[in-house]
């Protein structure tokens, strides 16, 4: 069966703090920290009016496609890809093999500044994800699904 990704409150708080600091340092409009399947871990900044769930799934899709392109060309990975718009730009980078950092920024910032700040922040994010990964292994037996009854499952689709 697939391994599961578990986020605990302590690490969630640390990841949020790192993203808040990155947003301030990079003069970004919004920051999304995702896993490679497109699940949102942190979404901060000016995100009103953005369908964040759709954004996350599309970023995961484009990252997966970019990664496959890299392999086709004999590269291990294209860890960064960038989309330039008239108003807003999107900087997408791999934090580690399982997490994606997405920065939305406009003319108040610059690609150079974002790249620099992302690189530094990624190092700290990797440290937190490492702690999280160890914690997941240790607490593998505490399974939230254990408490779910067959009746709960039957009642899932009440809409």
Partner 1 sequence: MSFINYSAREIILKIVYYGPGLSGKTTNIKYVHGATNPDARGNLITLETKAERTLFFDFLPLSLPPIRGFKTRLHLYTVPGQLFYSASRKLILKGADGVVFVADSQAERFEANLIALEDMKENLAEYGFDIERIPFVIQYNKRDLDNVTPVEELRAALNPWGVPDFEASAAADGGPGVFDTLKAVVKIIVRDLKNTK
User: Which residues make up the interface to partner 1 (CB under 8 A)?
Assistant: 1-9, 12-13, 35-39, 41, 51, 53-54, 57-58, 61, 64-65, 68, 140-141, 143-148, 150, 152-159
- Rounded to a whole number of angstroms, the minimum distance from the CB of residue 147 to partner 1 is 5
Closer residue to partner 1 in complex, CB, 76/147: 147
Minimal distance, residue 55 CB to partner 1, in Å: 10
Residues 125/15, Cβ–Cβ less than 8 Å: yes
| Least distance to partner 1, CB of residue 144, Å | 6
Residues in contact with 40: Cβ distance below 8 Å, sequence separation at least 6, in sequence order: 32, 33, 34, 52, 53, 56
Sheet with 99-105: strands ordered across: 40-45, 30-35, 99-105, 89-96, 80-84
Lookup: tokens for 49:
């009016």
Closer to partner 1 at the Cβ: 1 or 73? 1
Nearer to partner 1 by Cβ, of 58 and 126: the residue is: 58
CB contact set of 7 (below 8 Å; sequence gap of 6+): 41, 132
CB of 76 to partner 1, least distance (A): 17
């Amino acid at each position: 069966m697939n391994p599961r990704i578990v986020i605990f409150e302590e690490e969630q708080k640390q990841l949020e703090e790192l993203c808040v600091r990155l947003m301030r340092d990079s003069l970004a409009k919004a920051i999304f920290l995702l896993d490679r399947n497109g699940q949102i871990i942190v979404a901060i900044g000016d995100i009103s009016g953005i369908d964040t769930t759709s954004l996350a799934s599309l970023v995961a899709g484009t990252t997966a496609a970019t990664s496959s392109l890299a392999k086709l060309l004999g590269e291990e990975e294209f860890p960064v890809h960038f989309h330039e718009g008239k108003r807003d730009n999107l900087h997408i980078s791999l934090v580690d093999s399982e997490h994606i950092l997405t920065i939305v920024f406009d003319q108040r910032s610059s690609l150079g500044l974002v790249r620099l700040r992302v690189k530094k922040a990624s190092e700290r994010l990797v440290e937190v994800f490492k702690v999280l990964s160890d914690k997941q292994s240790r607490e593998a037996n505490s399974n939230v699904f254990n408490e779910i009854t067959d009746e709960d499952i039957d009642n899932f689709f009440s809409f």
